[in-house]
Amino acid sequence: MKTLQQVEPREPISSAPFIIKQPGSYYLTTNLTVSGGDAITITTNDVTLDLNGFTIRSTANPASGTGILLSGRLRNITIQNGFIRGGVTNNGRGFFSGPGFAYGIRDEEGASVGVAQNVRVSGVSVTSCRYGIWLTDLTDTLVENCMVRTIEEEGIWAKVIRGCVASDCGGVAIKGRQVSDSRGQSVGSAVYANGIHAGTAVNCYGQSSSAHGLTALVAQNCYGSSNSRSGLDAGAAQNCYGESTSGTGLFADTALNCYGVSYSGTGLFARNALNCYGESTSGPRALLATNAAFCVGYRPGGRAIEATIANGCWALAGTNLITYKYNMP
């Protein structure tokens, strides 16, 4: 006969606050609720915490404490499979208030100096807190297949982020070095409140009310949308789409096979544009580039393409202003 420890070699957690002081595997056996402070604190290395589909809640008013806190210079931490909830609400136009947790998941020191190493958060949903999953992009941290919603400040911050959704955030919705297959939406009024802010963004969607929809050093197969700034802002953009109401639709140093559209701003603005399309309804120009090749501009009654050098470009609607042109009428 096997002992219970042999059948289930994990330690149960049935009440909070709870402090994990020994390495090992832990799991929730029920929903947990705290009225203030931190719910679960991890103070040791080599820990796997399975929320087991249960929910950790806080009724603290105003919002304070952390759902799951990593305390100390920790290594090898996995948190997975459950929910963290508070009572913070968006009262309209990015103004948040209410009870709950200040942080869903937080590295106590790493957010500013990069302390925690080899941290993975998977399959966790954080809603109605001041901050969502707040680790760091300075060390090896991974957040995957997670969702955060109605977050007053930053939604998800980690080095590698994949398959995540962060929506209704007051600050940057998603921030990471490598972001893929993710969607970030910011509703805040600050100029830094980007939908997605990444070193490399692949297959991502970013939306912002007041800042860039998506900003990255390298963006591939991405979509960015903004009301007032660039829909998509990248050093190099490939197969990307950017749109803006009053700012630049897509802004890049190099744009390849990209589409930029703006209502009252420039549709696409790039130093080097190849096989790109720019469109503007009432802005100064549809497509602006230093070097443009095989591009199309659409600006009825205005400037379609403005470039220093253009090769094989075409004004679908509007006129061109080009210093040196080749293979063009």
Residues forming beta bridges with residue 149, ordered by sequence position: 127, 167
pLDDT band with cut points at 50, 70 and 90 for residue 72: confident
Which pLDDT value is given to residue 252? Answer: 98
Q: Six-digit token pair at 198?
A: 């990444």
Residues forming beta bridges with residue 49, ordered by sequence position: 26, 79
Q: Six-digit token pair at 240?
A: 């990307």
pLDDT band with cut points at 50, 70 and 90 for residue 5: low
DSSP 38-101: -SEEE-SSSEEEE-TT-EEEE--SS--SEEEEE-SS-EEEEEEEEEEE---EE-STT-EE-SS-
Residue 26 has pLDDT above 70, yes or no: yes
* Residue with tokens 């304070």, as numbered in its chain: 64
pLDDT tens, position by position, 267-276: 999 999 999 9
Which pLDDT value is given to residue 1? Answer: 60
Give the β-pairing of 131-134 and 89-90. unpaired
Kindly tell me the sign of the dihedral angle through the C-alpha atoms of 89, 91, 94, 98. Answer: negative
Contact 224, 232 (CB under 8 A): yes
pLDDT tens, position by position, 81-111: 999 999 999 987 668 999 999 999 999 865 5
Give the β-pairing of 103-107 and 75-85. unpaired
Work out the widest C-alpha separation in the chain, in whole angstroms.
87
pLDDT band with cut points at 50, 70 and 90 for residue 329: confident
pTM: 0.94
DSSP 232-272: EEEEEEES-EEEESSS-SEEEEEEES-EEEESSS-SEEEEE
Q: Six-digit token pair at 71?
A: 């305390």
DSSP 9: -
pLDDT over 70 percentage in the chain: 95
Q: Which long-range contacts (CB under 8 A, 24 or more apart) does 225-231 make?
A: 225/195, 226/195, 229/191, 231/260, 231/261, 231/262
Contact 133, 124 (CB under 8 A): yes
Residue 113 has pLDDT above 70, yes or no: no
Which pLDDT value is given to residue 3? Answer: 55
Q: Six-digit token pair at 301?
A: 């009654």
d(CA 264, CA 260): 12
pLDDT over 90 percentage in the chain: 88
Q: Six-digit token pair at 58?
A: 């806080």
DSSP 132-192: EEE--SSSSEEEES-EEEEESS--EE-SEEES-EEEEESS-SEEEEEEES-EEEE---STT
**What are the extents of the domains in the chain?**
1-211, 229-329
For the ranges 7-21, 102-116, 132-146, 222-236, the lowest mean pLDDT is seen at 102-116
